[in-house]
């Protein structure tokens, strides 16, 4: 099966690797986003998919706007590919491109469609407290993740899982599911199922304001925000930006799920209620306890501006926290 692969970030790498390692597929070319400037040196760096493609001496095409890139469109037509595989490419494909391959364009999407259509399905599924997510392969159409579904695979979301961990798990799961999908598609053993649009939810691009913590929200809502938008959620502490990258809701309903954290006391401690964002207590060897709009939140890992990430315990010692006095905003 002749394939053109469209993808950009690390999430797409396992799928391209799986295709390259299978004797049943031939990667004709790779389409990825243009190189971007990153890091302290503001260097122009290739995408993870481009790096992998070049290691395998594959042709790499990087149009700025694929819909209007005449040279790339001409090349795509000339490939006479059986299928275009799309994994987190980052651009919308035109009807002209969707009609090119013999078997169509297959997308590997990081949610159980029709839930969480859009750019950031993994992040928003955790943010909204979902306990399960997965991968859906689908036949692409002109809509945003609206195409008919082919296969799905499910995975649980634990209370302490963050977006990076779930993304890593789903990227491997997506690679396996894509291989199975293509094999069944070639053998005509698979039937596409239309999505029920009445059940659709959306996962838009994350905006800067989404990362700021609002302490009037509940402890579980903030916890889900921190792990869903990991590692970039922040608050302010003593007029400095404080990134908060790991938390635990100090709520009896969730207490039994926290056995993996051996430092957590066996019995639920009590603290006097404070104002929203106030540090009302300290769990010894664990971290500070913050009052939220509903319940308490333990800070397990934080990062002050210009500093390295540190545990809640080290944060307490480093800044000499004063329970009942210090405040987050």
pLDDT in tens, 12-31: 999 999 999 999 999 999 99
CA distance 290 to 273: 10
- At 86, is the secondary structure helix, strand, or coil? strand
- Residue appearing with tokens 């159980």: 112
* Residue 76 in marked binding region: no
Which residues have CB under 8 Å from 284's CB, separation 6+? none
At CA 104, angle to CA 100 and CA 110, rounded to 5? 125
What was the pLDDT predicted at 297? 95
Tell me the CA end-to-end span of the chain in Å, nearest whole number: 56
21-73 pLDDT, tens digit each: 999 999 999 999 999 987 777 888 999 999 999 999 999 999 999 999 999 99
Grade residue 143 by pLDDT with cuts at 50, 70 and 90: very high
166-194 pLDDT, tens digit each: 999 999 999 999 999 999 999 999 999 99
* Residue 242 in marked binding region: no
Domains of the chain are 2-203 (3.40.50.170), 208-262+269-319 (3.10.25.10)
CA distance 233 to 242: 9
Residue 127's H or E segment, with its range, is helix 121-127
- At 192, is the secondary structure helix, strand, or coil? coil
What was the pLDDT predicted at 39? 74
In this structure, are strands 60-61 and 26-31 parallel, antiparallel, or unpaired?
Answer: parallel
What was the pLDDT predicted at 262? 60
Mean pLDDT of the residues in the chain? 94
Contact (Cβ atoms closer than 8 angstroms) between residue 65 and residue 91: yes
The dihedral built from the CA positions of residue 215, 217, 221 and 225, taken in this order, carries a sign that is: negative
Contact (Cβ atoms closer than 8 angstroms) between residue 253 and residue 178: no
* Residue 114 in marked binding region: yes
Grade residue 258 by pLDDT with cuts at 50, 70 and 90: low
Contact (Cβ atoms closer than 8 angstroms) between residue 129 and residue 195: no
- How would you write 101-159 as a 3-class SS string? CCCCEEEEECCCCCCCEECCHHHHHHHCCCCEEEEEEEECCCCCCCCCEEEEEEEECCC
* Residue 258 in marked binding region: no
Grade residue 251 by pLDDT with cuts at 50, 70 and 90: confident
Which pTM was predicted? 0.94
Which residues have CB under 8 Å from 187's CB, separation 6+? none
- At 183, is the secondary structure helix, strand, or coil? helix
């Amino acid at each position: 099966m002749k394939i053109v692969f469209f993808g950009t970030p690390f999430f797409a790498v396992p799928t391209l690797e799986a295709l390259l390692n299978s004797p049943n597929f031939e990667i004709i070319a790779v389409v990825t986003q243009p190189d971007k400037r990153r890091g302290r040196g503001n260097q122009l760096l290739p995408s993870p998919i481009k790096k992998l493609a070049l290691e395998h001496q594959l042709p790499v095409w990087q149009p700025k706007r694929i819909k209007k890139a005449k040279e790339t469109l001409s090349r795509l037509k000339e490939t006479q590919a059986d299928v275009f595989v799309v994994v987190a490419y980052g651009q919308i494909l035109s009807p002209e491109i969707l009609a090119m391959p013999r078997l169509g364009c297959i997308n590997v999407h990081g949610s159980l469609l029709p839930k969480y259509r859009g750019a950031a399905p993994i992040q928003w599924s955790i943010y909204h407290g979902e306990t399960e997510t997965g991968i859906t392969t689908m036949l692409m159409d002109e809509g945003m993740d609206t195409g008919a579904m082919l296969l799905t695979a499910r995975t649980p979301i634990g209370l302490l899982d963050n977006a990076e961990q779930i993304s890593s798990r789903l990227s491997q799961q997506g690679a396996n599911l894509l291989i199975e999908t293509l094999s069944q598609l070639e053998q005509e053993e698979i039937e596409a199922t239309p999505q029920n649009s009445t059940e659709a939810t959306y996962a838009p691009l994350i905006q800067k304001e989404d990362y700021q913590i609002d302490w009037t929200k509940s402890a579980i809502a903030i916890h889900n925000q921190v792990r869903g938008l990991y590692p970039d959620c922040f608050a302010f502490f003593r007029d400095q930006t404080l990134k908060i990258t790991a938390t635990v809701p100090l709520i009896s309903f969730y207490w039994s799920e926290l056995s993996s954290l051996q430092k957590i006391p066996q019995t639920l401690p009590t603290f006097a209620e404070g104002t929203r964002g106030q540090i009302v207590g300290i769990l010894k060897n664990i971290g500070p306890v913050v009052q939220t709009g509903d319940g308490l939140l333990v800070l397990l890992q934080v990062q002050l501006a210009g500093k390295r990430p540190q545990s809640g315990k080290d944060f307490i010692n480093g800044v000499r926290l004063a329970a009942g006095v210090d405040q987050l905003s």
